[in-house]
Amino acid sequence: MGISQYIKEIGRGKDGARALTREQAADLFGQVLDGAVTDLEVGGFCLAMRIKGETPDEMAGFLDATHARLSKAPASARPIVVLPSYNGARKLPVLTPLLALLLAREGLPVLVHGTPTEAKRIFASEVLAALGIKPMVSVDPVAPGEVVFAPTEVLCPGLKRLLDVRRVVGLRNPAHSLVKLMNPVDGPSLIVSSYTHPEYAASMAATFELIGANALLLRGTEGEPVADPRRTPQMEAFRHGQRMRVQDAQGGSLASLPELPKGIDATSTAAYIQSVLAGRLAVPPPIAQQVEHILLATSAS
């Protein structure tokens, strides 16, 4: 079915719009990713979905279309930990690279993927580059104990184009949620995903359940998939879609604060990460707990 017919269904406003089936959503999103529609139609799709919101079935369909077009990393000797990094840092240092390197130190293969989505934030890709980890130009195998960074356009050029629509219209679209749910691995893996607002926690969990994912879901630091270094967030694990709370949120007042870099720029953050890895500074306890939960989840996969 043509995209205009789909837009008629989803573009009737918050109360009048009709939800698409999983199969319809996959067809629609595939057309968008393939560039088979006009820029005007893409804008109409993005605005209609922004007003309506995605159902779990629709998001599952969007994921079906995306997974069919992804360049995927081959299976590794151990489950690959997938860290979607799209929010970056605005107030706190972006410590997704620290999480990645701590997991690699435990022998896990780690694939970080992402792209800058705003102009005034510091992104994990910049910190990784400061640490000597350059972006991949093709999707290659990830070895145990290795951290790699895959730009979104290497995984799926159409998805990168859709993410960039935000720079034109100024609003999120389904791609911004989808990249935190997708699995760019052809084999055993664990997706570590995060949300910023409670409503996303519910919708993301429902999607993970529906698609039978292996995942860890938490309220990350400014939307990044790493625990806030100051306070442990709630964490939920999914094993083949079966949901289980593995960590309660830390309550009460804080007894102490970890030593964090004063600046959030890539150079200062990279220097801090190197100090933690060298043992000169302690791993923030919430991040250490997150590492333990990921190790348990990957050992059970």
Kindly tell me the burial class for residue 281, based on how many C-beta atoms sit within 10 Å of its own C-beta (0-12, 13-18, 19 or more).
Answer: middle
Q: Which of 51, 63, 70 is nearest to 10 (CA)?
A: 51
Within 8 A by CB and 6+ apart from 102, the residues are: 277, 283, 287, 288, 291
Name the average pLDDT for the chain.
93
Q: What is the pLDDT of residue 301?
A: 61
Under a CB-based contact definition with an 8 Å cutoff, are residues 165 and 56 in contact? Answer: no
Looking at residue 6, its amino acid is: Y
Q: How far is CA 21 from CA 26, 158, 258, in A?
A: 9, 22, 47
Using a pLDDT cut of 70, give the percent of the chain over it. Answer: 98
CB–CB of 137/154 below 8 Å? yes
Q: Where in the chain are the domains?
A: 3-67, 73-300
CB of 219 closer than 8 Å to CB of 107:
no
Q: Average pLDDT, stretch 237-251?
A: 95
* Tens-digit pLDDT profile for residues 154-213: 999 999 999 998 887 777 899 999 999 999 999 999 999 999 888 889 999 999 999 999
What are the tokens at 47?
Answer: 């605005």
CATH, range 3-67: 1.20.970.10
Q: Is the pLDDT of residue 119 over 80?
A: no
> Can you give the pTM of this predicted structure?
0.94
- Which CATH number is associated with domain 73-300? 3.40.1030.10
- Tens of pLDDT, residues 32-83: 999 999 999 999 999 899 888 899 999 999 999 999 999 999 999 999 999 9
